[in-house]
Structure formats: structure tokens, C-alpha cells
């Protein structure tokens, strides 16, 4: 779990990770009871999903320029980024909703990767379509 100290260090996070992983940032304030309440769950999810996503906590009292830059109006606010763009946002402290937010963010990444890299298909003999992994799908001609 990382804690960026300023807007510039946050930009460095994106340059390093944004093409590889989903980056999930929690914007919180040390005086916020809801933030304190959700923190253990957020830390647990960072351990559980840490191979698939990078988790960061941002103390808005220390990094005030991030409030406007990321349009944070309430805390806790969770924002998921992938490929240098925001893909999902969640405001609140409900543990089930927060976990669903993380899962949906990872699913969004998966769908974008699949759309960018569709499986290679080649037409083989006797009307078969050969997939990249060697499996074959039987294709019938129309009207037969």
C-alpha cells in the first residue's frame, strides 16, 4: 500500500503502472470516521487483489491539490484507473459495495484487454475455423 505525497508523485504512479494494472486510489481524511471504518477492509482488499491492481491511499489533508485534480468532493472516494483514464468511481464506506467496485474495475480491465487483443482466427480446410490455441470450430455453409 502506497501513500503518494503530492500530485507529481501521483502522476509518477500512473506512468509506471497505468498500462499494466488497474490503479485504485482511496481519497480519505484522517478526521473522517467513515474513512477510518473502511480502512481495514481496503487494506485487506489490497492484499487480496494486489497482484491484479495497485492500491494507493491519498490523505487529502496532505495533498490538497488532488481534490480539484481528481474532482473529489466527499470522502472516502475510491477511483479506479486503467490506461491513464478513470474507469470507475465509488463514494462510500459499505464493504460489500467497495469489494464489488474493485471486482468490477478488474473486470473492466479484462474486457478492454480482450477487445484490444481478439483471438486470431484462420479459415482451415473443410470449412473449419482454427483458433490460435489449435481448437477448431465447425462452420456449416448457409443453406445446407
Q: Based on C-alpha coordinates, what's the Rg of the chain?
A: 21
- The average pLDDT across 83-105 equals 92
Comparing 33-47, 53-67, 82-96, 124-138, the range with the smallest average pLDDT is 124-138
Query: Which domains are delineated in the chain?
Result: 7-116 (3.40.30.10)
Confidence of residue 115 (pLDDT cuts 50, 70, 90): confident
What was the pLDDT predicted at 20? 77
Phi, psi of 122 (to 5 degrees): -130, 145
**Residue 53 is inside which H or E element, if any?**
strand 53-59
Whether the CB-CB separation of 109 and 115 falls below 8 Å is answered with: no
Amino acid at each position: 500500500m502506497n501513500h503518494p505525497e503530492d500530485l507529481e508523485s501521483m502522476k509518477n504512479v500512473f506512468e509506471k503502472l497505468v498500462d499494466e494494472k488497474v490503479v485504485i486510489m482511496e481519497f480519505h481524511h484522517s478526521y473522517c470516521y467513515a474513512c477510518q471504518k473502511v480502512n481495514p477492509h481496503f487494506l485487506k482488499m489490497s492484499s487480496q487483489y494486489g497482484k491484479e491492481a495497485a492500491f494507493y491511499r491519498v490523505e487529502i489533508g496532505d495533498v490538497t491539490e488532488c481534490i480539484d485534480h481528481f474532482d473529489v468532493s466527499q470522502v472516502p472516494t475510491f477511483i479506479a484507473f486503467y490506461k491513464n483514464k478513470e474507469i470507475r468511481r465509488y463514494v462510500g464506506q459499505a464493504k460489500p459495495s467497495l469489494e464489488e467496485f474493485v471486482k468490477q474495475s478488474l473486470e473492466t480491465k479484462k474486457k478492454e484487454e480482450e477487445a484490444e487483443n481478439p483471438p486470431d482466427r484462420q479459415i482451415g480446410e473443410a470449412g473449419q475455423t482454427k483458433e490460435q490455441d489449435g481448437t477448431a470450430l465447425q462452420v456449416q455453409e448457409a443453406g445446407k
